[in-house]
Structure 1
Amino acid sequence: MVDATAPGCDRATVYHCDAWVAKLSNHQDTLVGRAHQELLRQTLRPTPTVGGAELFYVPVPIPRGRWHAEIAHRYAATLGTALGGRRIDAPVVHAHVGLPGGWAALHHARPDARVYVTEHATFLDSVLDTDEARKMYDEVLTRCAGFFAVGEAVRAPLLEVFPHHKDKIEFIANPTSFDVDRPEPVTALRRWLYVGGLIERKGVELLLEAFATCRADDPSLTLTMVGAGELLARLTARVAELGLTEAVTFTGAVSPDVALRLMKEHDLLVHPSRMETFGVTVVEALAAGTPVLVTRCGGPEETLAGIEEAAGELIDVTDEPETIVAGYRRLRDRFPWGTDVDRARRHLAARYSYQAVAEAHHRIWFPESHTTTSTPAVVGPE
């Protein structure tokens, strides 16, 4: 979002509050907190980041096991230390997620500043699981100048808890770069790619089993799994059990640039997630000219509405790898004549490109002039 929106502004500053979680006793927490305050005051320096913006990296020490309300209070307190008691010097502040980003931003914005919040968390049920957190989130919704969900999968649970804010919660998209074309179009769906966390919610174990079935029919298939997570050891062991060591590659976590390069080098993104509020990876793959096999898990059926068959294949969320297998076979049998990735890419670019999303933000941030010459700040966690 910063990369997309900052170039149109005369100045943009990012306060990147990043949770540093550790197992700490109350005594250790007190000592760490005191030391951190002193060190932060002495070491905080701006560095250049994307879009010509400047970045202040603000680590936030948090004892393991704390709830979201306390985490939000700690973010606000640590940002206050980073600011040295001053207010954020910007007429517009845009926060990432309601808690903790929105809470911290509202407590340190100038009195005359307009504060906006974008929410995309997949774990809102966890964020709102205490009375205190719900009260704090309600305050964020009440006080902010505008509040945006990235999709209905975010907006719907918020409206269940805060129906009185139904007119406040609007939509705004995540931006995706469409600047680089794929060198050669995909001609066969042999090189599978997964990009995301190696966690249960992403359906990665089902993906591996489905790949094994499909590769039994076509030994030329390969699978690259990009990401890190708690299931890595189990997935690696299962690959060995299936005799697929030569066919499956685990890259670990990679930078966004590397992930995008891999999308251009593969034939098919397979994304069998159980729940996505938007599904940035799916849009990024199509921006790279790569067709997708993706579950109807919330965000993707919204982002791909009207271009489902052009983009690839949508499948239901189930507990059976056969669902992925059947979806792949349907897509393989009609590829490429039954798809139109170029059309899907053009459709998505009109909605989610840097230019489209930047224009939407700038219209919201600067309604008085509809220009982009002002000074926003962005506050949020990782």
Structure 2
Amino acid sequence: MSGVATSIKTLRNELEQHGHQVYIFTTTDPHVEKDVYERNIFRFPSVPFVSFTDRRVAFRGLFHAYQIAKELNLDVVHTQTEFSMGVIGKFVARSLKIPCLHTYHTMYEDYLHYVANGKLLRPVHVKQMTLAFCAHLDGVVAPSQRVLDTLTGYGVKAPIRIIPTGVNLTKFDQKSDIDVRQKYGIDDDQPLILSLSRLAYEKNIAEVLDGMPKVLAALPNAQLLIVGDGPAREDLEAQVAQLALGEHVTFTGEINNDDVSAFYHAADLFLSASDSESQGLTYIEALASGTKIVVKAGPYTKQLLQTDALGAIFTTYDEMVDKVIECLKSPEISDQAQLAETLHEVSSEAFGERVIDFYQDAELNYEETREDSADVGN
């Protein structure tokens, strides 16, 4: 359900549509039966990661991965994590003498509080870890300008290219058979705000809840649907009770990924106060569903929302409330041409083509570097 998993799945689909073969090396998953066949997927023994129990790290498989990769005669390794499988990927690429590229998905400085309440790790440790992992890579994919600026600031020397993760637009441009409003008892004439994410503290859903009383003062029958699950859920439910918002806020829990589109289509507005996103796939999914978005200001969101026809960005709490009320009063996206242009830039097709270009450039540069090294050796 994570953005990383979605990105990998999207990339695999696009690469295969272009005629490439894709093999995924990943960790075991307690939700997947051991005897179930998974096409071109190889799983390695793993345990839950400290403080992120829904994330896993492999504890063995280095040479097994190398043996499999050698038999597959791979051309490129693309790592998607800086931890166990990422280290294994780098080892495999170096052993096979093929290029290794990496996507830097996570802004770790936003997550330090998960480890010993932020008392153990500091931003300097993130910088050191990032530099160590990115050393000797043949390319780094940055999903947004924010990620590029961060990596450049750390001093990463590998070639970095901004390639936003694409969205399969056809998945979201058609209405679903699921009637979300009926399921959760929300009338058609009630303004509906959607929050969809992992319920984690860095998603800042508490600020969204804090703004609801002011939204209700202007639009008394407004509703907020909070979709997802995670470690912050209990605290958020307690906040709803404290603010006496029980009649206006609904928690759905985790939903099937195939049903996500129905929730976007049911909403009048998608709202996020998160400032920890490296890109924000949910923002694109909402727009692809024809739903306006109100999101926290940042380099990525400023680039995404260059016109108020698609929604609004905010910096302060008061701005958030004002923009939500304004967009709920006029929820239709008026500039369809601007929407189409924006979505083309973040489509899964464009994503796949840009990654393939990066692979090809990395292969050329890798071969040239090897030839130069051989010439120096002679």
TM-score interval (norm. to shorter)? 0.7 to 0.9
The residue type paired with residue 320 of structure 2 is: I
Could you tell me how far apart the structure 2 residues matched to 1:124 and 1:18 are? 27
Q: Does 1:78 align with 2:69?
A: no
Cα deviation digits, residues 287-320 of structure 1 (max 9, x gap):
111110111144322333x3x312111111x4x3
Q: Does 1:359 align with 2:341?
A: no
Q: Give runs of aligned pairs for residues 44-63 of structure 1, distance below 5 A.
A: 47-48=38-39, 54-61=40-47
Could you tell me how far apart the structure 2 residues matched to 1:363 and 1:210 are? 44
| Aligned CA-pair RMSD | 3.5
Contact 1:198 1:229 in 2 (8 A): yes
SS of the residue 1:78 aligns to: coil
Query: What is the match of residue 93 of structure 1?
Result: 77
Query: What is the match of residue 12 of structure 1?
Result: 22
SS of the residue 1:143 aligns to: coil
Deviation (angstroms), 1:79: 3.4
The residue type paired with residue 55 of structure 1 is: I
The residue type paired with residue 107 of structure 2 is: T
The residue type paired with residue 113 of structure 1 is: I
User: TM-score of the superposition, structure 1-length normalised?
Assistant: 0.74
Aligned pair in 2 of structure 1 residues 367, 158: CA closer, same or farther (>3 Å)? closer
Q: Does 1:324 align with 2:324?
A: no
SS of the residue 1:56 aligns to: strand
Aligned pair in 2 of structure 1 residues 233, 341: CA closer, same or farther (>3 Å)? farther
Aligned pair in 2 of structure 1 residues 112, 314: CA closer, same or farther (>3 Å)? same
Could you tell me how far apart the structure 2 residues matched to 1:46 and 1:351 are? 35
SS of the residue 2:258 aligns to: helix
The count of corresponding residues between Structure 1 and Structure 2 is 326
Deviation (angstroms), 1:221: 1.2
Deviation (angstroms), 1:359: 1.0
Could you tell me how far apart the structure 2 residues matched to 1:214 and 1:342 are? 27
Aligned pair in 2 of structure 1 residues 170, 324: CA closer, same or farther (>3 Å)? same
Could you tell me how far apart the structure 1 residues matched to 2:244 and 2:128 are? 53
Could you tell me how far apart the structure 1 residues matched to 2:261 and 2:291 are? 10
Query: What is the match of residue 150 of structure 1?
Result: 143
Aligned pair in 2 of structure 1 residues 183, 261: CA closer, same or farther (>3 Å)? closer
Deviation (angstroms), 1:131: 8.3
Cα deviation digits, residues 264-297 of structure 1 (max 9, x gap):
1211101111222111110110011111011114
Aligned residues with identical type, % of pairs: 20
Query: Which 5+ residue runs of structure 1 have no aligned equivalent?
Result: 21-42, 49-53, 371-382
Deviation (angstroms), 1:368: 10
Deviation (angstroms), 1:216: 3.1
User: TM-score of the superposition, structure 2-length normalised?
Assistant: 0.74
Larger RCO (CA under 8 A, 6+ residues apart): 1
Query: Which 5+ residue runs of structure 2 have no aligned equivalent?
Result: 1-10, 116-120, 177-187, 365-378
Could you tell me how far apart the structure 2 residues matched to 1:345 and 1:278 are? 18
Aligned pair in 2 of structure 1 residues 102, 84: CA closer, same or farther (>3 Å)? closer
Aligned pair in 2 of structure 1 residues 131, 273: CA closer, same or farther (>3 Å)? closer
Q: Does 1:290 align with 2:291?
A: yes
Specify which of 141, 160, 167 is matched with residue 169 of structure 1.
Answer: 160
Contact 2:26 2:41 in 1 (8 A): yes
Deviation (angstroms), 1:147: 1.0
